[in-house]
Amino acid sequence: MNSAIRNGLGWSTLALMLTSLFMVFEWVPTEAEQGIVQRIFYFHVPLAWVAFAAFGIVAIAGVFYLWLKDQIWDDLGYAAAESGMVFCTLVLITGSIWAKPIWGIWWTWDSRLTTTFILWLLYGGYLMLRAMADDTPEVARFGAVIGIVAALDVPVVILSVRLWRTIHPAVIVTRAGEHGLEDPRMVVTLLVSLTAFTALFAWILMLRFSQLRVRSRLNGMRREAALIEAAARDY
């Protein structure tokens, strides 16, 4: 049942990605001021959306883990943090590639860029903790707390373009309340890309989550084997 859903989601993601690529490279009109480099935004914005969604899931899973102490929530949080980190890294890279021809520099300490970089560092810390420490309930508890605290940066990143002076463009809605995308085809392309990346994230999350469930089961079996061995020695 699960693998059928996963396969279906995988093929749907592929179809959506191909549609999105066709729209980005063939269908959508070129933006007047920035030229073709503006097309990076049709994937940059969805990447940011899925990264934020992933970190939101880490925080929710963290709350449930601290409340219920059930390993399933820790596995979900870990899977979401890892995939969120991949997407967040891509947000920073694609943003930087866009910035070079438009701003003339690869990086600047603008409020949105800086808060996104802080978010990346926070979840980097979370993943380092998980990778270097053993799979114990204490580590899972620390991870849950870090995941919840780090997610507080997500609304700061989103609101940074309104809270502080910034040179980062507001793609969806400008500060004056107008749409940053003047042509309806640009809006449709962005929506298709958002759907494609949401499907991709869901598929990757399912893959990694089911894998971490297997790892937890394996850890349980290792403990069981150690107990049987200890009992045999005592006997």
Partner 1 sequence: MEHFGYLFGAYSIIFAVIFIYVLFIWRRQAELERELRAMEERIKTLKLESTSSAAKPMEK
From the list 140, 144, 202, 204, which residue makes contact with partner 1 (rule: CB under 8 A)?
A: 204
In terms of CB distance, is 6 or 141 closer to partner 1?
6
Contact flag: residue 89 with partner 1 (CB under 8 A): yes
From the list 15, 93, 128, 159, which residue makes contact with partner 1 (rule: CB under 8 A)?
A: 93
Contact flag: residue 218 with partner 1 (CB under 8 A): yes
Q: Kindly state the smallest distance separating residue 66's Cβ from partner 1, in Å.
A: 27
Contact region for partner 1 (CB under 8 A) — 114-122, 133-141, 150-158, 222-230? 222-230
Q: Kindly state the smallest distance separating residue 35's Cβ from partner 1, in Å.
A: 6
Contact region for partner 1 (CB under 8 A) — 129-137, 153-161, 175-183, 213-221? 213-221
Q: Kindly state the smallest distance separating residue 175's Cβ from partner 1, in Å.
A: 26
Residues of this chain, 33-72, that bind partner 1 according to CB under 8 A: 35-37, 39-40, 43-44, 47
Tokens describing residue 12: 């749907």
| Cα–Cα distance, 97 to 106 (Å, whole number) | 7
Contact flag: residue 215 with partner 1 (CB under 8 A): yes
| Cα–Cα distance, 95 to 197 (Å, whole number) | 17
In terms of CB distance, is 149 or 214 closer to partner 1?
214
Write phi, then psi, for 179 (nearest 5 degrees).
-75, 140
Question: Which DSSP string corresponds to the chain?
Answer: -HHHHHHHHHHHHHHHHHHHHHIIIIISPPBTTTBGGGGGHHHHHHHHHHHHHHHHHHHHHHHHHHHH--HHHHHHHHHHHHHHHHHHHHHHHHHHHHHHHHHSSS----HHHHHHHHHHHHHHHHHHHHHHS-S-HHHHHHHHHHHHHHHTHHHHHHHHHHHS---S--SSB-TTS-BS--SHHHHHHHHHHHHHHHHHHHHHHHHHHHHHHHHHHHHHHHHHHHHHHHHHHH-
Provide the β-strand partners of residue 35: 31
Q: Kindly state the smallest distance separating residue 65's Cβ from partner 1, in Å.
A: 22
Q: Kindly state the smallest distance separating residue 45's Cβ from partner 1, in Å.
A: 12
Residues of this chain, 105-144, that bind partner 1 according to CB under 8 A: none
Contact flag: residue 101 with partner 1 (CB under 8 A): yes
Summarize as ranges the residues that interact with partner 1 (CB under 8 A): 21, 35-37, 39-40, 43-44, 47, 83, 86, 89-90, 93-94, 97-98, 100-101, 200, 204, 207-208, 211, 214-215, 217-218, 221-222, 224-225, 228-229, 231-232, 235
